[in-house]
Amino acid sequence: MDLSRPLGALFVAPECAPLTKTGGLGDVCGALPPALRALGIDVRVLMPGYAEVLRAIEPRRLAVARLLGQQVRLLEAQLPNGVPLLVVDCPKLYARRGGPYLSAEGADWPDNALRFGLLCKAAALLASDASPLAWRPDVVHCNDWPAAPAAAFMRFDGAAAASLVTIHNLAFQGLFGEEWVERLGFPAHSFGIDGIEFHGRLSFLKAGLSYADAISTVSPTYAQEIQTPGFGCGLDGLLRHRANVLTGILNGIDGAVWDPRTDTNLARTYDAETLEDKAHSKAALQRAMGLPVDAAVPLLGQVGRMTAQKGADLLVESADALAAMGQVAILGTGDRALEQAFAALARRHPGRIAVRVGFDEGLAHVVEAGADIFLMPSRYEPCGLNQMYSQRYGTPPVVHATGGLADTVEDGVSGFAFRDYSAGAFLGAVGRAVRCRADARAWRAVQRAGMRRDFSWSAAARRYADLYRSLAMRARA
Ligand code: ADP
């Protein structure tokens, strides 16, 4: 491989903070590319020209192309963190009121196959000799189902670059009707069980997993779990078959945004030596949520999507017992039925359980800092960020020992874990945390153990950089 120029990587991102974010994937796409650039990798992010993206950047037009029957402009700009950004501009498909995947009313965009198929075609074009740019990536890094088919297109086109597909959540696969196979330009022979077909439908994620040179997911434990029927979402057989190219690399967290020493959302900042100042955030959280201000009562906090994946149903089932152990402060949005169940709990336990339905970044910081104990009973968790934030904020988490939660929380050392997925086991772990908190010395030790841990992106980026290098080497060989 040519060592005289830096290794080039095209990072295909369906969402990217701070321009657009619906969850942890947006955080990863915002944070990993700059960490890779700091290691000397020439990473460029490719994403669709959503309305909010076009509003936030000052683009330069690079090229025009016709892809999948659409007139497309390729724009170049910079992300606020300085990473070069390539934008697939096709206003008819992307510049709409609503989110990256859903309309403002919360329904899937009916043309998502075309919207993300086009993103993948553009990625494959930039990796090919027909690219309108002089720059060529050595590696194309495809994130989740909306970007996964780029790996398949590259294989069919005989691209020289290597492909990596990262699974951020296997449950979202991008399933579409068979009619899209031809419309998106997949060869007919690929629509079979060894290719892009999943039970009679086109699977975007499977297209990537079948043809990528390498596959990664966002924690070592999840990489093992998805090879089993219980976690494999119907793809465990394929993932076992591809186990030799499958690895788990833990996500990092953005240490500039999530730092109790500098966090401007907090009533008072603090560090491991001034943990008594955390009390100001606790009082602020109690006030913000309408709970009685009380330093002594254990305050249990939770932030996240209100879905079965995040264990929202387990929280509802455990709520009466939790309210007997302390105050509970919950921030989240998600399934309507679960949102209503939480609102009903708050009505049943006034002054004990408080619920804020909505997305509120500032309040999320206050929960992480102000709670005594953070609750994260996810049924499964590819990596999870909130349990890392909470450890950094000296708020020991109670977690289900699965996926990234098992890899980032040390039971009895930096948090508390339970194995069986049941309300009894969950409440047992919360009880252990509450009892530990009653012993001030032991509690400080758990808080400080969490605060000392290195969850930085630079550690994760080094592992991705090694993977990129080995892939580029093989592609050139
Ligand atoms: P996910 O599976 O949703 O991606 P993660 O724990 O990996 O879960 O990341 C979720 C991200 O979204 C975190 O940054 C978290 O703080 C944020 N988040 C989730 N729900 C809310 C909310 N209601 N208000 C503010 N931030 C939220």
Q: Is 339 in the pocket of ligand 1 (CB under 6 A)?
A: no
Predicted local distance difference test score (pLDDT) of residue 244: 98
Instruction: Print burial letters for 214-236: b (CB count within 10 Å at least 16), e (below 16).
Output: bbbbbbbbbbbbbbeeebbbebb
Ligand 1 mutation pick, 217, 257, 265, 305, max ligand atoms within 8 A of CB: 305
Query: What pLDDT sits at residue 476?
Result: 63
Q: State residue 254's pLDDT score.
A: 86
Ligand 1 pocket, residue 415 CB under 6 Å: no
- In 3D space, the residue among 122, 136, 44, 49 whose CA is nearest the CA of residue 81 turns out to be 44
- 49 contacts 157 by C-beta, under 8 angstroms: no
Distance CA 30, CA 192 (A): 35
Ligand 1 touching residue 390 (CB < 6 A):
no
Atom of ligand 1 nearest to the CA of 386: 6
- 378 dihedral zone (left: phi>0; alpha: psi -120 to 50; beta): beta
Encoded tokens for 443:
């509690």
| Distance in Å, CA 303 to ligand 1 centroid | 7
Percent of the chain with pLDDT over 70: 99
Q: Do residues 2 and 426 lie in contact, with contact meaning Cβ atoms separated by under 8 Å?
A: no
Q: Is the CB of 304 under 6 A from ligand 1?
A: yes
Written as six digits, the tokens of 294 are 């009380």
pLDDT tens digit sequence for 261-307? 999 999 999 999 999 999 999 999 999 999 999 999 999 999 999 99
Question: How much distance in Å is there from the Cα of 243 to the middle of ligand 1?
Answer: 29
Q: 295 in helix, strand or coil? A: coil
With a 6 Å cutoff on the Cβ, whether 20 touches ligand 1 is no
Nearest residue (by CA) to ligand 1, atom 4, is 24
Closest CA to ligand 1's atom 26:
361
> Distance between terminal CA atoms of the chain?
8
> What integer pLDDT is reported at residue 23 of this predicted model?
83
Distance 159 CA to ligand 1 centre (A): 36
Q: Tell me the best of 15, 168, 385 to mutate to test the pocket of ligand 1, counting ligand atoms within 8 Å of each CB and taking the most.
A: 385
**Is the minimum distance from the CB of 138 to ligand 1 under 6 angstroms?**
no
- Residues 85 and 66: their CA atoms lie apart, in Å, by 20
Say whether pTM exceeds 0.85.
yes
Ligand 1 mean position to 360 CA, how many Å?
10
Ligand 1, atom 9, lies closest to the CA of 24
Q: Are 120 and 126 in contact (CB under 8 A)?
A: no
Distance 269 CA to ligand 1 centre (A): 22
Q: Facing residues of 98 across strands? A: 103
d(CA 365, CA 235): 36
Listed as ranges, residues in the chain with pLDDT below 50 are none
Q: What is the pLDDT of residue 5?
A: 83
Tokens 């009895």, residue located: 412
pLDDT value of residue 2: 58
Whether 364 lines ligand 1, by a CB cut-off of 6 Å, is yes
Place of tokens 């016709």: 66
Q: Of 384, 328, 396, 393, nearest to 356 (Cα)?
A: 328
Ligand 1 center to residue 26 CA distance, Å?
10
User: How crowded is residue 295: how many other Cβ atoms within 10 Å of its Cβ?
Assistant: 10
